[in-house]
Amino acid sequence: MFILLPLAEGEIPQTAGKRVEIIQAIYRRARAFGFTKEDLLIDGMVMTAASNPKAPAETLKTIEWVSKTFKGAPLIGLSNVSFGMPERRWLNAAFLAMATARGLRPPLPTPRGKNSWPSKWRPMSSVRGTGTRRIISPVFSGLSGQKEPKGPTAEPSPPERVYQAILDGNREDISDLVNAAMAGGKSGPGTGARTP
């Protein structure tokens, strides 16, 4: 199993057509060494929309070709698309939905704190399945404009806050949350204190 990067002399081709040519050339060479399509994950090479507004569309074309024509397994480094943009979480979510519709299998999401993803969409809980056959199913609950019912909710314990910060990739607050959890003397969410 290896990841195929469609690079030409260290440069990322700007168009899907050029990426396709490189993918085909690399695959021909890989077959000579006994590799099959099932051994490959093919990177669609996401470039930021901030530097080239046409770049995301070229990546989507590459993903669709890999999935539907080549019959391979495309993947992407998802968060690259929004680098340098405001409200990155929404661009990431929209791009992931479009890429999934074109045949994306495993994306490589990089949550960068609480502002990188929609608050109701937990990247770890959005991945269903195992191995290279994973299909990504974004869960956009609560993003349809419907308001959540209001009512009393239990305040999460310090260990539960640490746990959630880890799932969210919340680097900004994790130190303070860990210190608060340690000061409380709990061993983990739902586990209670342990004795030797």
Residues 65 and 132 in one domain: yes
> Of the candidates 102, 139, 132, which has an alpha carbon nearest to the alpha carbon of residue 117?
139
Residues 80 and 159 in one domain: no
At 111 the pLDDT is: 52
Residues 15 and 79 in one domain: yes
DSSP conformation class of 11? B
**Domains: count for the chain:** 2
Say if residue 166's pLDDT is above 90.
no
**Contact predicate 102/63, CB 8 Å:** yes
CA gap 27, 39 in Å, rounded: 10
Task: Give the predicted TM-score (pTM) of the model.
Answer: 0.58
Residues 115 and 25 in one domain: yes
Residues 93 and 171 in one domain: no
The side-by-side arrangement of strands in the sheet containing 74-75 is: 2-4, 40-43, 74-75
Q: Residue 18 is encoded by which pair of tokens?
A: 């050029």
Residues 103 and 23 in one domain: yes
What one-letter code names the amino acid at 169? G
At 93 the pLDDT is: 87
Task: Give whichever of 1-5, 28-32, 107-111 has the largest mean pLDDT.
Answer: 28-32
State how beta strands 40-43 and 74-75 pair. parallel
For 92-109, what is each residue's pLDDT tens digit?
Answer: 889 999 999 999 976 665
Q: Residue 180 is encoded by which pair of tokens?
A: 């608060």
Q: Residue 107 is encoded by which pair of tokens?
A: 């994306």
At 10 the pLDDT is: 80
